[in-house]
């Protein structure tokens, strides 16, 4: 029993390493700037398909996945980046002003940044789960942030843990972080979407946007 658990742990750790390597390979194929978005879409898709089976991750598919997710991956990553930069600089400007009104504005802007980051991470999961347009995928990802506060809290806890690990062990950024984050978001998103479907089915309706 102990040997099986140890082997399972090692296999999962290797899966994270291989998936993280695949992320950076796809990103490099896209020249980093135009590769990050498609790479995130690609590894989340691998998590949804592979289910801990590292043999299903083939580095030879990197170029194919870059082309497959190039359009939507960059629409999402570039769009979210530009919007996030605008909100961030607005937050920097607002934080230099004093007063309760500006303090409230700071809080709202910080919450918006958090919401955008959550949505960016979740979009590929919804995109692979439902056959809906990219616009509706983005809408649903934003709505799900407010769907269950318990789930949102779990996501925040995971993000905090990943930040702490990356600060303590910078090598995690290259070898573990992207793979572990993709698997967490895949499982996290699947559970949320399954619960949403069940709730809609219980109400006698379907998921519509």
pLDDT, tens digit (0-9, with 9 covering 90-100), for 162-187: 999 999 999 999 999 999 999 999 99
The mean pLDDT of 129-135, rounded to a whole number, is 91
Residue 57, domain member (yes or no): yes
Closest by alpha carbon to 40, among 116, 119, 113, 124?
124
Residue 4, burial from CB neighbour count under 10 angstroms (0-12, 13-18, 19+) = exposed
Asked whether residue 79 is domain-assigned, the answer is: yes
SS3 category, 145: coil
The span from the CA of 28 to the CA of 52, in Å, is: 24
Confidence of residue 208 (pLDDT cuts 50, 70, 90): low
- pLDDT band, very low/low/confident/very high, at 11 (cuts 50, 70, 90): confident
Q: Say which residue, 84 or 97, is predicted with more confidence.
A: 84
Give the structural domain span for 127: 2-202
Half-sphere exposure of 86 (CA within 13 A, CB side): 8
| Res. 37 pLDDT band, cuts 50 70 90 | very high
- Averaged pLDDT for residues 85-105: 91
Would you say residue 192 lies in a domain? Answer: yes
* Interatomic CA distance for residues 158 and 207, integer angstroms: 27
What integer pLDDT is reported at residue 56 of this predicted model? 84
Say which residue the tokens 């390493």 belong to.
17
Report pLDDT for 10: 86
Is the distance from CB of 38 to CB of 65 less than 8 angstroms?
yes
The verdict on residue 209 lying in a domain is no
Q: Which long-range contacts (CB under 8 A, 24 or more apart) does 169-175 make?
A: 174/20, 174/24, 175/16, 175/17, 175/20, 175/21
For position 207, what pLDDT does the model report?
58
Q: Quickly tell me which residue has 């504005």 as its tokens.
A: 105
Q: What is the total count of domains within the chain? A: 1
62-95 and 36-50 helices cross at what angle (nearest 10)? 120
Q: State yes or no: pLDDT of 104 exceeds 70.
A: yes
pLDDT at 1: 67
- DSSP string computed for 54-89: GGG--GGGHHHHHHHHHHHHHHHHHHHHHHHHHHHH
The stretch 59-78 carries a mean pLDDT of 96
User: Does residue 207 form part of some domain?
Assistant: no
**pLDDT score, position 205:** 58
Report residue 153 as tokens.
Answer: 């809290």
Question: What letter does residue 53 receive in the DSSP assignment?
Answer: -
The DSSP annotation for 12-29 comes to HHHHHHHHHHHHHHHHHH
Asked whether residue 140 is assigned to any structural domain, the reply reads yes
pLDDT of residue 148: 86
Cα separation, 89 vs 95, whole angstroms: 10
């Amino acid at each position: 029993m102990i040997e099986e658990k140890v082997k399972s742990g090692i296999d999962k750790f290797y899966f994270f390493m291989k998936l993280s390597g695949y992320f950076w390979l796809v990103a490099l194929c896209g020249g980093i700037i135009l590769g990050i978005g498609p790479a995130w879409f690609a590894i989340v898709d691998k998590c949804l398909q592979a289910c801990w089976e590292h043999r299903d991750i083939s580095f030879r598919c990197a170029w194919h996945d870059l082309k497959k997710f190039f359009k939507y991956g960059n629409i999402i990553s570039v769009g979210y980046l530009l919007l996030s930069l605008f909100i961030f600089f607005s937050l920097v400007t607002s934080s230099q002003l004093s007063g309760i009104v500006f303090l409230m504005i700071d809080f709202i802007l910080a919450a918006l940044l958090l919401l955008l980051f959550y949505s960016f991470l979740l979009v590929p999961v919804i995109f692979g789960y439902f056959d809906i347009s990219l616009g509706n995928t983005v809408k649903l990802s934003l709505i799900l942030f407010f769907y269950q506060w318990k789930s949102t809290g779990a996501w925040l806890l995971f993000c905090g843990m990943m930040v702490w690990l990356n600060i303590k062990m910078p090598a995690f950024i290259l070898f573990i972080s992207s793979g572990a984050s993709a698997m967490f978001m895949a499982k996290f998103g699947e559970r949320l979407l399954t619960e949403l479907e069940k709730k809609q089915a219980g109400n006698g309706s379907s998921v519509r946007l």
